[in-house]
Amino acid sequence: MESETPAGDGFERELTTDLDDRTPDPPRGMAMHNRILLGLVLGAACGLAANAALGADDPRLAWTVQNLASPVGALFLRLLLMVVIPLVFAALVVGVAGIGDVRKLGRVGLKSFGYTLVVSAISVVVGLTLANTIRPGDRMSAATATALEARYGTQAEDRVKAAIGGEAEKRPVLTQVIETVIPSNPFAAASSETPNLLHLMFFALALGVAATLVGPKVAAPFVNAMESLFAISAKLIEIIMKLAPFAVFALLFASTAGFGLDLLGTLAWFVLTVLLGLGIQMFGVYSLSVALLSRISPIEFFRRIQSVMLTAFSTSSSNATLPTALRVTEQNLGVPKEINSFVLTVGATANQNGTALYEGVTVLFLAQIAGVDLSIAQQITVAYLAILGGIGTAGVPSGSIPFIIVVLATIGVNPALIGIILGVDRILDMCRTTLNVAGDITAATYVARSEGYKLLGRPGERIAA
């Protein structure tokens, strides 16, 4: 392996500023993830104490939840919903447009895109299979489940029907598919109280593909505008997330005050399900990929990218990890720069397998809690949204939360249920970001190997004929 780059390296200076508290501009106060964790602990503790002391039916407790805790949670959720449409739309357009002119990129672009779709689909299937097998949302007492369904499951059936086309069963299947996926008016899809994410994503994907096919002079202003919209939306999400500790406290207080310790046990099953899925994808699917497609030892692969994985775990951001990923993939794995820079840069936004898996599991878990029994067709819709969500989710901490909120609303689950998982989202975010970044690197090694480059050697070295 190459020795570590000296401290003066630009990549390391950028990362040091992000991670080292001894820099000239250290972060002030407690780190955000610690604040959210504190909000989780205090909210759950206060809610459990109120539940034990007063009882879930006490009118004073009900008044506190209804007039204090719930409004704080509602404020946080509506602020996130406010930003999700421009964020997802811009991220999808930029992610697809970032591929460049497919006619010029040829094999590299098509291989990267194909690999991303296949591996993302596998990750979602893994997540949905585990969620349906373990069913973490059903692991609570019947009384608690009934109370949760009564609070969060109202009008769910009507909203589910609306999400899949209302009276769709009266029309031919192909017509249903076309009307479900392709919008007749993309502005209407974005402007309703519950945006039609399927329609919006298709329109964004279509614009992104078209932007790769017109001349750079024509596409550049539009793509630049979308990049600006994405960056501004991501910054707004970052600002809104400063409310997260208070929102987590309020939402967890409201939940545990009404449902007690039973809900926390169910949350533990959710965490276990997500971690199991991420582990299967990382050490099962990725190991098979690098062994069969990249023709390198999985043990050697993970050993050589350990610094990238640690950076991803620490920052919870694919974007912040990109400088280290670029350097390590070139120096330690021998991927040439021309492939490296394209696959990893696009992958930081568009190839987020861990996020896709997490979003699928989370949606099914919260649907189970709300008593919404999703059919196979509806779960396929969730899978489709989760795969696209791997492209349309910002590569920043907690970037998947706004997307999950909209998907919940789409399938008829009360978005307020997101408060149950917010407290544990940070640690799961760290884990799924590690999977995202490792997935980007497996894609880079696959493309490099398929293009005839020798891995684990000097960057750009070709395989001997």
Band the pLDDT of 31: cuts 50, 70, 90: low
| For the chain, the helix, strand and coil percentages under 3-state DSSP, each to the nearest 5 | 80, 0, 20
Amino acid identity, position 138: D
Residue % of the chain over a pLDDT of 90: 13
Nearest to 317, CA basis, from 7, 19, 1: 19
Residue % of the chain over a pLDDT of 70: 72
- Taking a C-beta distance cutoff of 8 angstroms, is the pair 419, 248 a contact? yes
- Taking a C-beta distance cutoff of 8 angstroms, is the pair 102, 110 a contact? yes
DSSP state for residue 163 in the 8-state scheme: H
pLDDT digits (tens, 9 = 90+) for 261-315: 667 788 889 999 999 999 999 999 999 999 999 999 999 999 888 888 887 886 6
Band the pLDDT of 3: cuts 50, 70, 90: very low
The SS3 call for residue 2 is coil
User: From CA 276, how far away is CA 283, in angstroms rounded?
Assistant: 11
- Taking a C-beta distance cutoff of 8 angstroms, is the pair 40, 244 a contact? no
- In order, the DSSP letters of 117-139 are HHHHHHHHHHHHHHHHHH-GGG-
pLDDT at 16 over 60: no
How many Å is the Cα radius of gyration of the chain? 23
Please indicate whether residue 318 or residue 47 has the higher confidence score (pLDDT): 47
From 1.25.40, 3.40.50, 1.10.3860, 1.10.8, which CATH number describes the 31-450 domain?
Answer: 1.10.3860
pLDDT of the residue at 258: 66
pLDDT at 7 over 50: no
The SS3 call for residue 6 is coil
The pLDDT of 155-169, averaged and rounded, is 44
pLDDT at 57 over 50: yes
In Å, what is the CA distance from 107 to each residue of 339, 343, 447?
11, 12, 9
pTM for the predicted model, two decimal places = 0.65
User: From CA 100, how far away is CA 93, in angstroms rounded?
Assistant: 12
- Taking a C-beta distance cutoff of 8 angstroms, is the pair 444, 340 a contact? yes
- Taking a C-beta distance cutoff of 8 angstroms, is the pair 434, 313 a contact? yes
Nearest 5 degrees, angle CA 231-CA 392-CA 431?
95
Strands (E), 300-432: none
Please indicate whether residue 1 or residue 293 has the higher confidence score (pLDDT): 293
pLDDT digits (tens, 9 = 90+) for 59-112: 888 788 788 887 887 787 778 778 777 877 887 787 677 656 555 556 777 888
User: From CA 112, how far away is CA 114, in angstroms rounded?
Assistant: 6
Domain ranges (residues) in the chain? 31-450
User: From CA 448, how far away is CA 454, in angstroms rounded?
Assistant: 8
pLDDT at 203 over 80: yes
Greatest Cα-to-Cα distance within the chain, rounded to the nearest angstrom:
80
The pLDDT of 203-226, averaged and rounded, is 85
Residue 257 pairs in a beta bridge with: none
Please indicate whether residue 267 or residue 398 has the higher confidence score (pLDDT): 267
pLDDT of the residue at 301: 92
Band the pLDDT of 32: cuts 50, 70, 90: low
pLDDT digits (tens, 9 = 90+) for 216-244: 788 889 989 988 988 888 788 778 878 87
Mean pLDDT of the chain: 75
pLDDT of the residue at 273: 94
